[in-house]
Amino acid sequence: FAVAMILDRAIPEGDGTLLTLLVGAMVGLAVAIGFIGVVQQSLTASAGQGMLFDLRNELFGHLQRMSLRFFTATRSGEIVSRVNNDVSAVQSVATNTLVTIARDACTLAATAVAMLAMNWRLTIIAVMIVPLFYLPSRIVGRIRRRLSAQTQQSHASLTAFLSERLHVGGSMLMQIYGRRDADAGQFKDHSRALRNLNVRQAVVGRWLFMILSIFSAVGPALIFWYGGHQVMREQMTLGHLVAFAALLTMLYRPLTQLMTVYVDVQGAVAVFERIFEYLDMPRDVADRPDPAPLPVVRGRIGFEHVDFSYPPPPALLHAVAPGLSYRPPQATGSPEQIAAPPPAAPDNGFALRDVSFQIEPGRRVALVGPSGAGKTTITYLLPRFYDPDAGRITLDGHDLRDLDQDELRSHIAMVTQETFLFHANIRENLLYARPDATERQMIEACRAANIHRFITDLPEGYDTIVGERGFRLSGGEKQRLSIARALLKDPSILILDEATSSLDATSEHLVQAALGRLMEGRTSLIIAHRLSTILNADQIVVMQSGQVVDSGRHEELLTRGGLYADLFQKQFAGVLEHNGAAQTATSR
């Protein structure tokens, strides 16, 4: 319009002011359009990214509350991949789709109206081939959906493989068994599968574009054929026909765009299905709507006829097959193929059967029994990592299922064989148990845990980074750090899984003394491996095959004979004297 004004009026009439104005308007318009574009982009981007932000947070929050059942059955890389890659994969759809749909639908409607106004017969012919656009889009959409699911699965598989192999333990295993080349080959297979899927996804979109372009050409051809006859019969002018054909292009372009968006959305739907599969997973250990408050705990614990068997892992349609085993790339078949039946539990039976015992407040109970007897399982039920199938577990007389999980756990600390530490400095790892602890409280806890001196001797003291999972620390050091962490939390109840690996005498003594301080005045449930722990326990619960076979104090159990006496003979009889001598030596 401005150009027309410049050519038709400003220049012929020699109007310099008008010319300047019009040129100014041209520039101004360009600037305005540019700004509108920026505003529109920033609005759509923040809306789309806001949605992804919420989705990611919700996913993380939901996964945080999943029980151990989920985490023991799912590869961590797979979980990471769903939170990361899957959420990112819906990004373009989340940010662009709505705008494209709105813009193209408007163009489509406006063009259709203009066409109808011009010539309704030709419009009907033009619209007749519109369904042709839909059919291939549907087919391609379905293919795209399948490919998209497979791609994300392949991505998860790759991430899981990476996180296992490029981890301290995994890389050590790889090197010691000389599997570098084999693993590289496997990685290549995973990577190749992902590459092929991505290529196929890209090409399938192009096929659709090609088909739709052909249809877009068919429309104008038909119009020229029919309209041409009308022009010949002088029922229409040539200009009319050309204008109509031009309009038709304007109709098909947004239509093609919309169909492309439809296919993209189909791809995103497959990814959303994976995300919602996690979000829809029910919580195994759920709280009652009105849990009983329990702000203060005395620490009386009761197991009453508890039966428990480990639930089978959650059956996920899109899960990556568990384990380290090699999966050839062609196995990335349909989701139905991948969802293998959950592996059967080792003996299909109870992990705990009719388990009953009591712990009085402040007492120490040692769990003793052969490996696989169910000792660890008992320590999992107390903080409600799982709920029992039958019977009940009580704390100060309350059924644990009537309590709030978070409140219950606030009274419990756990020191396990494997000390988990984050890749952070010592201070951060300690304060994880109690972020508001003062420097003095932290140091006090470390003194009590016999680790303060060690930490201050490190070049960076409490700011030393412990390395992934604490690989920079020795076994005894990690244990003492874990004891300090528990001391800092200052719980009423302590769950302790003593390390089976023997430490050297000095370490052993340091750990022992630290544990003694930790257990003071707390109700303690201990999976005992050390002689001194067993001898000092107020009660020993002897377990075998998920059942309590005996309980009492050391002397009683020993004189009664049976499993305890056997176990004791095998494990400790030889070291009893030596250990006693060592202890007197170190305590002197």
Q: Is the backbone of residue 450 left (phi > 0), alpha (psi -120 to 50) or beta?
A: left
- Say how far apart CA 482 and CA 514 lie, in whole Å: 10
* 310 touches ligand ADP by CB under 6 A: yes
Nearest distance in Å: CB 386, ligand ADP: 9
8 A C-beta contact, residue 426 and residue 486 = no
8 A C-beta contact, residue 95 and residue 48 = yes
* 416 touches ligand ADP by CB under 6 A: no
**Token representation of residue 448:** 């009590």
* 341 touches ligand ADP by CB under 6 A: no
Residue 565, φ and ψ in degrees, nearest 5: -60, -40
Minimum CB distance to ligand ADP smaller for 375 or for 509: 375
Nearest to 407 by CA among 510, 330, 297: 297
Nearest distance in Å: CB 377, ligand ADP: 3
Nearest distance in Å: CB 528, ligand ADP: 11
- Say how far apart CA 441 and CA 431 lie, in whole Å: 10
Minimum CB distance to ligand ADP smaller for 244 or for 357: 357
Minimum CB distance to ligand ADP smaller for 345 or for 424: 345
- Say how far apart CA 471 and CA 423 lie, in whole Å: 9
Per-residue contact string for residues 56-95; x = within reach of ligand ADP by CB under 6 A = ----------------x-----------------------
* 533 touches ligand ADP by CB under 6 A: no
Nearest distance in Å: CB 526, ligand ADP: 12
Minimum CB distance to ligand ADP smaller for 351 or for 455: 351
523-527 vs 364-368, strand pairing mode? parallel
Minimum CB distance to ligand ADP smaller for 70 or for 272: 70
Site for ligand ADP in 100-119 (CB under 6 A): none
Minimum CB distance to ligand ADP smaller for 205 or for 391: 391
Nearest distance in Å: CB 585, ligand ADP: 32
**Within 13 A of 18's CA, how many CA atoms are on the CB side?**
14
Nearest distance in Å: CB 72, ligand ADP: 4
- Strand segments, DSSP code E, in 295-350 are 301-308
- Say how far apart CA 96 and CA 103 lie, in whole Å: 11
Minimum CB distance to ligand ADP smaller for 264 or for 498: 498
Minimum CB distance to ligand ADP smaller for 329 or for 383: 383
**Token representation of residue 388:** 């029992």
Site for ligand ADP in 353-392 (CB under 6 A): 369, 371-377
CA distances from 347 to 103, 372, 395, 458 (A): 61, 11, 31, 48
Count interface residues toward ligand ADP (CB under 6 A).
13
Nearest to 518 by CA among 538, 542, 489: 489
Nearest distance in Å: CB 352, ligand ADP: 8
Sheet with 301-308, strands from edge to edge, namely 352-359, 301-308, 390-395, 398-399
Q: Which of 174, 236, 297, 351 binds ligand ADP (CB under 6 A)?
A: 351
Nearest distance in Å: CB 375, ligand ADP: 3
Taking the alpha carbons of 53, 56, 62, 63 in that order, is the dihedral positive or negative?
negative
- DSSP code of residue 291: P
CA distances from 369 to 155, 284, 525 (A): 43, 28, 14
Q: Which of 346, 397, 435, 459 binds ligand ADP (CB under 6 A)?
A: 346
Minimum CB distance to ligand ADP smaller for 70 or for 252: 70
Given the rule CB under 6 A, which residues bind ligand ADP?
72, 310, 345-346, 351, 369, 371-377
